[in-house]
Structure 1
């Protein structure tokens, strides 16, 4: 269905239409499916007589001013705009300079235009559906082909920031500082929301509830571990993480029999430890039985893919992110998967009709939704894994 277009968006859409040499455009709203709680999503079709329609995709700000003020980190729209308008241009130059083969370049939609109007921030990118991509099913456990392809993407993304830090250290430092979350605000938000997240988790736990309650004896312990997801910095790590690498932020297609994935959301890119993206992807995309067989294999695969990506960028992995450093980070982040299961998995798997709307009446604490039946199944699977591995 069509939707009302705000003035700043109308100007942006008109500008893009003229730049692409089309006559007019049509905006149709995309049905909410849980892929984004931060943006209003819509399709933009450029039209002209005698020309094939051009399919684009618009992401517009959804958070009210009140929601932004209560957010414990930073404005997601300014982050994504910065990523597309500034950081990605640096990454593209790196790939070009190093002649990285196309099949090994990081896949994301092309940017066609943007607006920085406060409360109406908008990005217009290519519509990957028109390129043959499909949305991933965020409630379906992934198979090994999907996970290995996704991990290769994570490794490519991290390698670009590591290479950028080597080729342009001063510029990278400024970028890293811009994309660093406010730790004190984040601490305050997590302290506020932790009790609700823990209560949801305790009520969902089955045979290992007592172990879970004993481990998270106080909410403070939980939110300190969850800080690892948002703010797990290590001096000289020089990694910018995606911050929200999960199936609903990936699209897939198959070409010549090979699975291809593309990333469609960069609203939480920030300076952190590389392992947080890896853990988040594994624990939001897979179930208990998959992890029992493939968890350690995926950890090994990530570093192999990272090394390959760095070599293509003409950077020595042992100089920028040695394997022993990576292994120590994995050990230090051992409990991060459990914290992700407690605090973030309920929202990742939320049923479509239970997705909170971040309008004027919303609060950031609304992100702590009660888990559905699928969450309870997946979460108890995480508990089973942790008990089997002797970590809980």
Structure 2
């Protein structure tokens, strides 16, 4: 079997040939995300050739093994290819056609090419790091400046999905169906991991709260509970699906303002926008941040969504009235606790203990990793929130 770098070189040959590079000098450097990425091997690439544009590129080569693929609820490589080849181009066209101001547009990374061959899936994009962008430290809680800019970008992404529905209704319904939440596969996945994750959560819960959490989980949570949030009939749109700091790039521009660009579109799915918003907050913040900013950030997202909808010519009062948003936020509040239990063990894992999706690994081995010392702190912070809010 070819190595990821060998696969990448073959893909680059095809991409650069299409762009009229004859005999370019190519430098390839593998990079690590320190436990933030599991599905691909990542590379930075420099391409140079006389009389042709120098290129700074970023590439991902898929590494998920056959056993793991058979257990996963979605084909994320195909989804990301669709995103860059089709969906995000439509979003760019909508922004152009509706003359969205440059300062209010969603920045979409430039796409260079894709290899769709099974077990060789490769995607090549512009290298944002060469332009000063970087990822946020996944083990550090978000702060207000970063969080507010992140949800502004999220609001623009959601508004473009809604505009896409308005402008291309038949296409939209087709893709919404293609990317609908895979209920049976996800329930099977949760069935295989639920008891283990529940046990892990209770094992690190502060003694004073342990009986409360156990009672709540026993009475209100099972393998199907999380699925119900994704299957809600409330205003389904094409959501990012994994909107967290590790999947965003940011930099401080010359004017001193922070700019945030969403990346990693492998998990786009048809569901409610609150899935993305709550996932971002509870996957990336600590208790101190939420005590100070949770409700302000939720309100900021809604204000930015209204602004983004207006920028694409839609009336937010008709698309998503504020009273409906407020009601749905309260209904979705328990979802944040499930994020803490089901995803924080992976998100907060120490780099040396990060699980792998390649080879013969399967879902049981993926969720059998050693949790970090940060996990109890983050989880207990969420439990405190839910006790304070009267949910537990």
Cross-structure match for 2:307: 308
TM-score (norm 2): 0.94
The 3-state SS of whatever aligns with 1:33 is coil
Q: Does 1:242 align with 2:240?
A: yes
Q: Does 1:211 find its partner at 2:212?
A: yes
Query: Given that residues 243 and 276 in structure 2 are in contact (C-alpha distance below 8 angstroms), is that contact kept between their aligned partners in structure 1?
Result: yes
Q: Which consecutive unaligned segments of at least 5 residues does structure 1 have?
A: none
2-structure distance, mates of 1:166, 1:51: 40
Secondary structure (helix, strand or coil) at the match of 1:223 reads: coil
Give me the whole-angstrom Cα distance separating, in 2, the residues matched to 1:272 and 1:389: 25
* Alpha carbons 1:14, 1:24 under 8 Å: kept: no
- Residues 228 and 336 in structure 1, CA contact (< 8 A), matched pair in contact too: no
1:96 match: 96
Between the aligned partners of 1:158 and 1:123, the Cα distance in structure 2 is 23
Contact 1:228 1:333 in 2 (8 A): no
Q: CA deviation at 1:94?
A: 0.6
Structure 2: 5+ residue runs without aligned partners? Answer: none
- Taking the TM superposition and a 5 Å limit, the aligned residue runs for 1:72-221 are 73-206=73-206, 207-217=208-218, 221=221
Alpha-carbon displacement from aligned partner over 1:350-383 (angstroms, at most 9, x marks no partner): 1111111112221123342343111111111111
Aligned to 1:262: 261
Is the Cα contact below 8 Å between 1:115 and 1:122 reproduced in 2?
yes
Partner of 2:224: 224
Aligned partners of 2:86 and 2:274: how far apart in 1? 24
Instruction: State whether residues 58 and 124 of structure 2, in contact with CA within 8 Å, keep that contact through their aligned partners in structure 1.
Output: yes
Say if 2:365 is the partner of 1:361.
no
Work out whether residues 356 and 366 of structure 2, in 8 Å CA contact, stay in contact via their aligned partners in 1: no
Specify the SS of the correspondent of 1:208.
helix
3-state SS of paired residue (1:107): coil
Equivalent residue for 1:33?
A: 34
Superposed displacement of residue 226, structure 1: 2.1
CA drift of 1:33 comes to 1.3
- Cα gap change, 1:163/1:51 in structure 2, threshold over 3 Å: closer, same or farther? closer
Separation in structure 2 between the aligned mates of residue 380 and residue 238 of structure 1, nearest angstrom: 31
The normalised TM-score by structure 1 is 0.94
Distance (Å, rounded) in 1 between the aligned partners of 2:209 and 2:92: 47
Aligned partners of 1:51, 1:111: CA distance in 2, in Å? 18
Paired with 2:246 and 2:36, the residues of 1 have a C-alpha distance of 5
The 1:380/1:40 distance shift into structure 2, 3 A limit, reads same
1:136–1:83 distance in 2 versus 1, CA, 3 Å:
same
Alignment of 1:233 with 2:232, yes or no, is: yes
The corresponding residue for 2:385 is 385
Classify the secondary structure of the residue corresponding to 1:135: coil
Across the aligned residues of Structure 1 and Structure 2, the Cα RMSD in angstroms comes to 1.8
SS in 1 for 2:161: helix
3-state SS of the aligned residue for 2:142?
coil
CA distance in structure 2 between the partners assigned to 1:135 and 1:381 by the alignment: 24
Measure the CA separation in 2 of the matches of 1:351 and 1:289. 22
Matched, 1:372 2:352: no
Q: Deviations over 1:268-304 (max 9, x none)?
A: 0100011010001111111101101111111111110
Q: Secondary structure at the match of 1:251?
A: strand
After TM superposition, the structure 1 stretch with the greater mean CA deviation from structure 2, 347-356 or 314-323, is: 314-323
Query: Contact conserved, 1:225 with 1:336, CA < 8 A, in 2?
Result: no
What is the alpha-carbon distance in structure 2 between the residues aligned to residue 359 and residue 165 of structure 1?
36
CA contact (8 A) 1:13 1:25 kept: no
SS of the aligned residue for 1:350 comes to coil
